[in-house]
Chain A
């Protein structure tokens, strides 16, 4: 049983009481909602004649169904239009803050909350979206929930939950050039497995995370769920405070000093006890690419697709399924795999630093013939910042399409989809069967710089050769 970790402290501070079932009733400090998982929750409230208990602690945006080319209303897709209208109506009637398209603040929910300073250390954060783990980068306990639980948070600002165990994941050392936060988390998931984190919160610690920017920490925490961990976090430090200072919703004046004192008190104690510890060496991590149908099926770009016999027995069934679905042969190098589509964006890698890294690779080069490549900024603010830096010009000169903010082809609920058996190089988080909008489409996950490298060469390429 863990003791003295940030997770323990934040959990205890937010505990309302113990329910008759023995579960904890946990207060949720920040509730984020979007158009896909909230409409049924509002309907359930209406059926039960319940109201929103803390409307000021819920913030809404629209991201999943947003078209990234033509955003004129009504949307061409009438179902998408119905979903945005429902969210607009629900927010209006319940007095919930809503960042709509064109507000300058719209974007992927896990991009906009941090950039506005809504996400803060020591908070509990819930959202009907599994990548809510992203917000753990600030030392928040943040996790995804389903729609019935969205209803519970709207009605009571609390959830019925069982406490998680805590695993400290320590990574030490400097990342080699061309190796990014995405490679670190893909390596962790490859090693610990896609279900290794079930029942755990992941605490990411060690000198590698200490040296990371907030955006890099967000990339790591974002994919905790792909390793089975419902939440992942990094203890807050000077980097966190530097990022937060002066943002729209960050405390200011005397409250800022009070906040720092409180945030510091939440950091895991030096003698904290963990349920488990895993240690990694940053120096051994190389650019990573997934070859299969789970985010745990990754290899270094220098490696071959593993043969089943080399894998643990329990992973072989899914490996066989992956060879067949992906049409890739075990024993073949992943490098050189031909690509059809390149997607840069998502809540994992759609922030300004991601676009900068990809632009460095794209600059002065051309997207290879026959490749469709597009960049979807994570938010309207990211888009504006990128344009101020001229990144849009670099991408467009190289032959990438420059789009509006949204989730886009990460899950393809908007018009951006793979066609048929197309294969994508994608900076997103999931390579599941059919994930990117075609039931036979294929996804290779990698860092944004690696996606840009694939775009300009037409195949999986070691980005280090282009830096």
Chain B
């Protein structure tokens, strides 16, 4: 089953407590996109530390990019009316660097984003997104800039990420994208939430532990 996305997204208020789907095969995601330009955007900017003072991820969607948005006084893409139904976030270089806080991709996902396209992603951020079922794909710098310009020119236009073909398509334009084969297979086979698979190997895990000398020292 592919996760075919409707162009209509519930109103933001309704999405706050939306459960992120688990164990679903993810092959295509279609919807309007949002361009967020800038290199080295760190996870402190995505979700400032004061919003980490909670024992749940609830409500984080409201605070995605909180400080950047306040400083831009309504001009931040996450505040601009034409992007309020966006499902695809298009970013530049080294997005999500810094702190390992999963609160950052949780905030972005709870705002309504289901996939990211960028020039490059920081590794821990990328891994957090995989574990949440949010694919991050990489495109050439020029292609990313072209995508961001196309979105700005026509924010209503739907874009489609296809993880089987490894393309992003809009209108007649097709852009090749890449992702490591391991994560890609996890999305295509619906195993991006690895927890069950990992736990199922308990005998092999015990055997590995038994081979490690330090396990016996402790």
Interface residues of A (CB under 8 A from B): 13-17, 19-23, 25, 27, 29, 36-37, 39-40, 43-44, 48, 50, 53-54, 56-57, 64-65, 77, 79-80, 82-83, 86, 120, 122-123, 128-130, 132, 143-149, 151-152, 155-162, 194-195, 198-199, 225-226, 228, 230, 249, 251, 255, 258-259, 262, 293-294, 314, 317-318, 321, 411-413, 430, 432-435, 437, 439-440
Contacts and interface: CB of A to CB of B under 8 A. Distances in A.
B94 A430 contact: no
Contact of B202 (A48, A156, A433): A156
A57 B216 CA distance: 11
B151 to A, nearest CB: 19
B139 interface: no
Contact of A195 (B94, B186, B216): B94
B127 A146 contact: yes
Interface string B73-113: 00000000000000000000110011111110100000000
B67 A17 contact: no
19 contacts: A17-B201, A19-B191, A21-B181, A27-B208, A39-B55, A53-B199, A86-B55, A149-B127, A149-B128, A152-B131, A155-B195, A156-B199, A156-B205, A158-B198, A158-B201, A160-B194, A194-B94, A225-B124, A413-B53
Contact of A162 (B39, B49, B180, B199): B180
A449 B128 CA distance: 36
Contacts of A156: 195, 198-199, 201-202, 205
Interface in B49-75: 49-50, 52-57, 67-68, 70-71
B12 interface: no
A293 B105 CA distance: 21
Contact of A144 (B40, B100, B120, B218): B100
A40 B57 contact: yes
B150 to A, nearest CB: 20
A151 B195 contact: yes
B124 A16 contact: no
A433 B93 contact: no
Contacts of A293: 40
B93 A195 contact: yes
A21 B122 contact: no
Interface SS majority for chain B: helix
A37 B205 contact: no
Contact of A146 (B67, B120, B128, B183): B128
Contact of A16 (B67, B128, B201): B201
Interface in B18-51: 38-40, 42, 44-45, 48-50
Interface in B193-218: 193-195, 197-199, 201-202, 204-205, 208-209, 211-218
B169 interface: no
B15 interface: no
A173 to B, nearest CB: 30
B140 to A, nearest CB: 13
A363 B193 CA distance: 54
A-B pairs, top 7 by smallest CB distance, nearest first, are: A146-B102, A146-B128, A148-B131, A39-B55, A144-B100, A439-B67, A156-B198
A14 B93 CA distance: 32
B17 interface: no
B9 interface: no
A54 B57 CA distance: 26
A21 B97 contact: no
A80 B202 CA distance: 36
Contacts of A413: 49-50, 52-53
Given A25-B197, A148-B102, A162-B182, 11 more contacts: A14-B212, A21-B181, A40-B56, A56-B218, A65-B53, A128-B100, A146-B101, A159-B194, A198-B120, A255-B216, A293-B40
B13 interface: no
B191 A20 contact: yes
B194 A13 contact: no
B40 A152 contact: no
A83 to B, nearest CB: 6
A260 to B, nearest CB: 11
B213 A258 contact: yes
Given A43-B56, A123-B214, A144-B100, A294 B40 contact: yes
Contacts of B183: 21, 23, 162
A19 B208 contact: no
Given A155-B199, A412-B49, A145 B101 contact: no
A21 B202 contact: no
A29 B202 CA distance: 15
B167 interface: no
Given A56-B218, A230-B123, A19 B52 contact: no
A29 B214 contact: yes
B178 interface: no
Contacts of A255: 216-217
B132 interface: yes
A162 B182 CA distance: 7
Interface centre among A21, A37, A53, by most B CB within 10 Å? Answer: A21
A80 B98 contact: no
A21 B40 contact: no
Contacts of A294: 40, 42, 97
Given A22-B185, A158-B201, A228 B94 contact: yes
Contact of B97 (A77, A162, A228, A440): A228
B131 A20 contact: no
Contacts of A123: 214
